Structure 1
């Protein structure tokens, strides 16, 4: 049974290669095609390819939007003030402590502030982002 399938696949490959290498005039004569038939078929094919590309783009966009909503919900659920209350420290102190203990992600970078002071709100936002990303475990009592 397997040999028949392999033979059929081989014959299909040979036929496809023959058709692909045949001159257009030969194919037109063999199937009684006119140039209008070919143009119509080509337009239909290109239209279908364009339609598939559009569907793919829409599916990617829909997926990206749903992932964005998931991330937004993570950030909305973060209660930085409650986390800071359990620590008994302000946001800056917690960030410094995490930095000293090397508990921050290795690839974490902060933008250059051009001489501006680092505010408590900045520190709280960084903590909120780290918690939402899962880099800081708020349920971990040893943290």
Structure 2
């Protein structure tokens, strides 16, 4: 791909990611309360670790979103199935590693599910946005 196309893709991916990022922390806190049934103080304890939260959202969720975006875009452009399948396997491997890391950190399956589902929603939103580009 030439530099102009890569720059256009980068701008669009950044815009798409930022459009869902604004709601991510709010959705995370809501799910920790409603699904994981954590108390306000437990939620605040998790959310107060801004280093973890920012790393999770700005690294993991961005990586997952980007992968979803690229898969969606490649599917739209009828990329070779083997390439798309490899990227899908990379996504599944990343999710398994994330789940193990989260379980070690929280030791609470419902809390892990909340973080896992948030990452999955970033993937799905990225997949949709990439398919529309």
Q: Is TM (by shorter chain) over 0.5? A: no
Q: Which has the higher helix share?
A: 2
Larger Rg: 1
TM-score, normalisation: structure 2? 0.25
Larger RCO of the pair (alpha carbons < 8 Å, separation 6+): 2
